[in-house]
Structure 1
Amino acid sequence: MKIMRPLGAVGIVASAALVLAACGSDPSASSSGSGSNSAAPAATGTAQVDCGGKSPLSGEGSTAQKNAIDVFNMAYGKKCSGQKVNYNATGSGAGVKQFNGNQVDFGGSDSPIKDADLEAATKRCGAPAWNIPLVVGPIAVGYHLSGVDNLTLTPQVIAKIFNGGIKNWNDPAIKAVKGNESLNLPDKPIQVVSRSDESGTTDNFQKYLGAAAKDVWTQGAGKKFNGGVGNGAQGSNGVATTVKGADGAITYVEGAFAKDGVTAAKIDSGSGGVALSPENVAKSLDSAKFLHEGTNDLAMDLNGIYASNVPGAYPLLLTTYEIVCSKYSNADVSKAVKAFLTVAATEGQRPLSSKGYVPIPQSLQDKVLTAVKAIS
């Protein structure tokens, strides 16, 4: 498979300006989807919080949830005066490694830990480790193509772009997608940009392709990009900045970064193109199931969502998790973790839609609060 030439030095390192911009706007404000936008009710209300314990708490991991963690931290400080969390956004792989190495109090991951990672986490805790979902957000198929700002892609076409099966923007397969007939698609190479670091966003994106375009995407999933084409950039900011600076580029990135020169494509799963928006993502959550039903490990099974064809539902999303011990050896850590997670699941959810995330629905909030209460 042909590897594309490097994009050059532009934007491989994330700029502080993009970080600030992503924190202060709603990238989905101008998006609209097809079909009904009936969505699951968002989490509301407050919960009793037993403040105190270790401060600052330490966390590390997912870059996708960094802006949400900042929101949670502000709400936590207001609810529990003097308490705060220091969170280092280094990527899901690093976060899991640091948590399992007992270097941080909780880890942040864009996909639930399992297998060897879960075994290592359980060994570190001396008790079961749990995946606690707190942040839901869309993954954008973000592109930069001069003169084209209303592109629709099917899962099959997306898969062919990211595994090298489609190499040019004027490929007949792209033109044939409903909604693209009138677009002036240029004779220009597609420059694929992927995450160079291990990332839960990569894992979720590849799982989506495996579920929604299983006959095309045979590369499998995992936190490393398996497509074999294009170039890599570090972190969410890195891929977004690279695409912004390269006409003809495309990537997968959290919805909060699809702005300022990075346009999110609509996705047509069979019922027409659906735009990335909080309402359209929330509609997809109606079909969410859990991998470990009946337990407080709330790892979600998203394959049903990825392969669905619900009119008006945006299916490409990720859920970020806080990886925690069900039982901590240090009571001060346990108390602070429970307080922080309780605030994050309640007051902390309300501002998230303005940051490009989707507040968790009430049904999920209830499960999260039950799990948090059980931490000891």
Structure 2
Amino acid sequence: MTRKIKSRHRSVWAFSLSVAALSASGLLAVSQPSQAQSLSCVSADSRANASGGFTIPGNCTQYFGNGATFPGLFYRRFADYFGIAIPANTGGQTGAVGTQPTTPTGSPRANTVQYNYCLTGSGNGRAVFVGTASASATCSYTASFSGGIVTPGNGTAAPAVFPTTSTANPPLFAGSDVPLSSSELSSYAANRQGSRGLPIQVPTVFGAVALAYNNNLTSTLSLSTSDLCGIFDGSLTDWSQIQGTGGLSGPINVIIRSDSSGTTNIFTSYLAAACGSGYYLSGGVNTFPTGLPQTARFVRVAGNDGIVNTVASTSFAVGYAEASFTAPFSTNTPSGQPAPRSALVQNPASGGGFVAPVVSTIRSSLGSVALQATNSSYPCVLQVNPSSLPVLPTNPAAYPIVGATYALLYSRYPSADQADAARGLFLNILGNAPFGRLGANDQVAQGLGFVVLTTGSTIQQRNDLRAQARACVSAITSP
């Protein structure tokens, strides 16, 4: 179930997640938080009152995360499978992920802890994590906007509020598509390290930045590298200038992000590399530049959800968003419109053609993935080695705009409950791939067009890499 959050700055989305013991489905078995829970946490999710709403029982433990919108739908779907999202449908049933028709074998739908992930953007996620911004927000529930996984309850619920209005008691975890910088690590040392221990940064999934376009534009859109560069520097202004649009004519309305965004960083890094030395971008940026032609054709909105909402409702529009927010991975936008399609994008590698953002082409973009700690003082601040994920792919079969997203965690939490909750969620997400079948985490990821942390051609290579990230998560402790 998704939640629409009203903050002082904009509407963002959140959803409920739950941890379960998943050893039978190929994930690590983990202990549940020790705080006593009631089965009312489960039963409340499957009931709606006469007005279509519901109330979360007071004895349910809720934890909050915030940050990157890029991995948001993956985190939500993972919880839909391994716990009862809020609100769940009356029968508590899930739909299909890929070829898996029901809940994966051995993954009980336990609901002892609810994780509420608020999609505030990567920049806010990092700032909250290092203690330079507040995470205060109010999250209210709305019906699910993605089809095929969970039939949501309808209506809304009483608001759920972040457990703090200050920077002193932050959410349980944060998400970012951009690794922590040296200045952010310095802020962390000053603001957090004394009480929360060393920071942990681990990659969770790889995903694609799709070029979402209004469904009334054309049934299939292919964008060359020169098309892409011209659209996003403002030099191409009409669809008649784009080859392969069948004589279509109309203003190109360009939808870009207004907030500090990891998705923007991934996308602008690609533009800077693909469009040549004379292009206005020399590298990736978190906030889209303001030096572009500021006409009505360039519209700035916050979040991946804001991008697809606006593209869907704006004639002749195109924008960039994580592929999971587009068709066929989502059937509707957060505002209830049909989800926009994704364009085929030209691979600039020699012999590369026009490629769709799907699991196989994301995998093709990955080299021999390796993790590295770039600061010896922070051995668990891990990031994907840049050579593992080249900005310009060398494989002609690769989708060209792919990035990793990171979970930001503390190595020490104030209570055992919080430590168990943080450790358990991400040990499950980074669980081993079993031999002979897809693990449940990989099923959920692939159903949305994501790839869980992976490398090489063998399951053992994949599991060795995940074990490196899990070692940092396993070390989470409490006083």
Would the alpha carbon gap of residues 202 and 308 (structure 1) be closer, same or farther in structure 2, given more than 3 Å must change? same
Residue 130 of structure 1: how far off its partner (Å):
2.3
Residue number among 213, 218, 224 corresponding to 2:287 in the alignment: 224
| Inter-partner Cα distance in structure 2 for 1:194 and 1:66 | 18
1:211 counterpart = 2:282: no
DSSP-derived class of the 1:299 partner: strand
| Inter-partner Cα distance in structure 2 for 1:147 and 1:79 | 42
Q: Relative to structure 2, which stretch is displaced further, 297-306 or 102-111?
A: 297-306
Output one character per residue of 1:154-213: Cα deviation in whole Å (capped at 9) or x when no partner. Answer: 334312211112222222xx32xxxx3xx4142322111101122111111111212333
Residue 145 of structure 1: how far off its partner (Å):
6.5
DSSP-derived class of the 2:366 partner: helix
- 1:75·1:348 contact (CA, 8 Å) conserved in 2? no
DSSP-derived class of the 1:119 partner: helix
Output one character per residue of 1:232-284: Cα deviation in whole Å (capped at 9) or x when no partner. Answer: 11221211111112221110001012223522111222311111111111221
Residue 406 of structure 2 corresponds to which residue in structure 1?
Answer: 321
| Inter-partner Cα distance in structure 2 for 1:286 and 1:185 | 39
Residue number among 57, 60, 69 corresponding to 2:66 in the alignment: 60
Residue 194 of structure 1 corresponds to which residue in structure 2?
Answer: 256
1:241 counterpart = 2:309: yes
1:137 counterpart = 2:207: yes
Q: TM-score, normalised by structure 2?
A: 0.62
Residue 50 of structure 1 corresponds to which residue in structure 2?
Answer: 31
- 1:95·1:107 contact (CA, 8 Å) conserved in 2? yes
| Inter-partner Cα distance in structure 1 for 2:184 and 2:226 | 31
- 1:15·1:241 contact (CA, 8 Å) conserved in 2? no
Residue 275 of structure 1 corresponds to which residue in structure 2?
Answer: 356
- 2:199·2:380 contact (CA, 8 Å) conserved in 1? no
Output one character per residue of 1:82-118: Cα deviation in whole Å (capped at 9) or x when no partner. Answer: 1332222222222222222342121111222212222
DSSP-derived class of the 2:390 partner: helix
Residue number among 439, 448, 452 corresponding to 1:359 in the alignment: 452
1:285 counterpart = 2:366: yes
| Inter-partner Cα distance in structure 2 for 1:208 and 1:46 | 34
Give 1 or 2 for the bigger CA radius of gyration: 2
Residue 121 of structure 1 corresponds to which residue in structure 2?
Answer: 188
| Inter-partner Cα distance in structure 2 for 1:348 and 1:58 | 21
Would the alpha carbon gap of residues 80 and 369 (structure 1) be closer, same or farther in structure 2, given more than 3 Å must change? farther
| Inter-partner Cα distance in structure 1 for 2:311 and 2:69 | 18
| Inter-partner Cα distance in structure 2 for 1:289 and 1:155 | 28
Residue 34 of structure 1 corresponds to which residue in structure 2?
Answer: none
DSSP-derived class of the 1:193 partner: strand
Would the alpha carbon gap of residues 146 and 87 (structure 1) be closer, same or farther in structure 2, given more than 3 Å must change? closer
What are the equivalent positions in structure 2 for 1:300-319 lying under 5 Å apart?
A: 300-302=384-386, 304-319=389-404
Residue 298 of structure 1 corresponds to which residue in structure 2?
Answer: 382
| Inter-partner Cα distance in structure 1 for 2:445 and 2:415 | 31
- 1:111·1:318 contact (CA, 8 Å) conserved in 2? no
Residue number among 369, 373, 376 corresponding to 2:474 in the alignment: 373
Residue 325 of structure 2 corresponds to which residue in structure 1?
Answer: 257
Residue 41 of structure 1 corresponds to which residue in structure 2?
Answer: none
- 1:61·1:96 contact (CA, 8 Å) conserved in 2? yes
Would the alpha carbon gap of residues 204 and 146 (structure 1) be closer, same or farther in structure 2, given more than 3 Å must change? same
Would the alpha carbon gap of residues 337 and 209 (structure 1) be closer, same or farther in structure 2, given more than 3 Å must change? same
Residue 73 of structure 1 corresponds to which residue in structure 2?
Answer: 79
Residue number among 406, 420, 429 corresponding to 1:335 in the alignment: 420
Residue 74 of structure 1: how far off its partner (Å):
4.3
> How much identity, in percent, do the aligned residues show?
26
Residue number among 120, 144, 148 corresponding to 1:90 in the alignment: 120
DSSP-derived class of the 1:339 partner: helix
| Inter-partner Cα distance in structure 2 for 1:337 and 1:75 | 18
Could you say which structure has the higher helix fraction? Answer: 1
DSSP-derived class of the 1:56 partner: strand
Residue 157 of structure 2 corresponds to which residue in structure 1?
Answer: none
- 1:196·1:234 contact (CA, 8 Å) conserved in 2? yes
DSSP-derived class of the 2:170 partner: coil
Residue 344 of structure 1: how far off its partner (Å):
1.9
Say how many residue pairs are matched. 331
C-alpha RMSD of the superposition: 2.9
1:266 counterpart = 2:344: yes
Residue 441 of structure 2 corresponds to which residue in structure 1?
Answer: 348
Would the alpha carbon gap of residues 251 and 305 (structure 1) be closer, same or farther in structure 2, given more than 3 Å must change? same
Residue 170 of structure 1 corresponds to which residue in structure 2?
Answer: 240
| Inter-partner Cα distance in structure 2 for 1:358 and 1:67 | 13
**Residue type of the partner of 2:33?**
G
| Inter-partner Cα distance in structure 2 for 1:217 and 1:131 | 32
Q: Which runs of 5+ in 1 are unaligned?
A: 1-12, 21-43
DSSP-derived class of the 2:246 partner: coil
Residue 32 of structure 1 corresponds to which residue in structure 2?
Answer: none
- 1:51·1:80 contact (CA, 8 Å) conserved in 2? no
Q: Which runs of 5+ in 2 are unaligned?
A: 1-9, 16-24, 36-60, 84-107, 132-168, 328-337, 432-439, 455-461
Q: TM-score, normalised by structure 1?
A: 0.78
DSSP-derived class of the 2:424 partner: helix
Residue 62 of structure 1: how far off its partner (Å):
1.6
| Inter-partner Cα distance in structure 2 for 1:113 and 1:80 | 33
- Relative contact order higher in (CA < 8 Å, ≥ 6 apart): 1
